[in-house]
Amino acid sequence: MIFTKTTIEGVYIIDLDIKGDDRGFFARTFCREEFLAHGLEPLVEQCNLSFNHKKGTLRGMHMQIAPHPEAKYVRCIRGAVYDIVVDMRPGSPTRFAHVGVELSADNRRGIYIPPYFAHGYQTLTDDAEVAYQVSGRYAPQAERGLRYDDPKLNLSWPLEVSVINDKDLNWPLLANRSEADFDHI
């Protein structure tokens, strides 16, 4: 695997180190030892698969706080998505900064998302599938979220939103929340 640091400490784009021949190719998509060598959380408590019917669907921005923080390793295995992560770590010099990357079945790219980062994506194709490896179980009491269109974040999505669920649409804006809502680290 090829690990590329982003502008935010702890967030990595992970490309496959493809070994090809006349049969096709082989590539490792996860290796505990390689994750540890880069200082990343290699534990996998849960694996999730998300299927999205319509181009423009937006999911996110989700995270969990202590005592149930999650690191995620996300890859798009069918179609394409634009994935954004937002640093929500209290005291971080890049708090509220974000990184965006296109993940697709064609580029086979993944993104590693540390704990205390909000995560979301928008589908760029119909019938997009996204696979997640997650370091912790889902704990509704620890779930937090951000509005995809919060002016404080200034996130730039590539398409008009075609589908979004009520929960994601109705997260309060950061201006109307206490930062302590996210500070249970």
Taking only the tens place, the pLDDT of each residue in 62-108 is 999 999 999 999 999 999 999 999 999 989 999 999 999 999 999 99
27 is a domain residue: no
Has this prediction a pTM greater than 0.95? no
136 is a domain residue: yes
92 is a domain residue: yes
First-to-final CA distance of the chain: 30
Rounded Cα gap, residues 84 and 156, in angstroms: 9
Rounded Cα gap, residues 145 and 5, in angstroms: 25
Torsion of CA 149, 155, 158, 163, to 10 degrees: -30
Structure confidence at residue 37 as a pLDDT band (50, 70, 90): very high
3-state secondary structure of 182: helix
To the query of whether residue 62 is one of the catalytic residues in this protein, the response is: yes
To the query of whether residue 53 is one of the catalytic residues in this protein, the response is: no
Domain range holding 119? 43-182
Tell me whether residue 49 is exposed, middle or buried, using C-beta atoms within 10 angstroms of its C-beta: 0 to 12, 13 to 18, 19 or more. exposed
Domain with residue 109: its CATH number is 2.60.120.10
91 is a domain residue: yes
Query: Which residues, 6+ apart, have CB-to-CB distance to 89 below 8 Å?
Result: 95, 116, 117, 185
Structure confidence at residue 181 as a pLDDT band (50, 70, 90): confident
Q: Quick one: which of 80, 57, 58 has its CA closest to 147?
A: 58
Q: How far, in Å, are 2, 32, 57, 126 from residue 82 at the CA level?
A: 20, 26, 10, 13
Rounded Cα gap, residues 42 and 86, in angstroms: 20
In the predicted structure, residue 182 carries a pLDDT above the cut 90? no
Q: Quick one: which of 55, 53, 52, 76 has its CA closest to 162?
A: 55
Set 73, 82, 121, 132: catalytic member: 132
Total domain count for the chain? 1
Set 12, 62, 112, 116: catalytic member: 62
Q: How far, in Å, are 56, 82, 142 from residue 107 at the CA level?
A: 19, 12, 33
In the predicted structure, residue 165 carries a pLDDT above the cut 80? yes
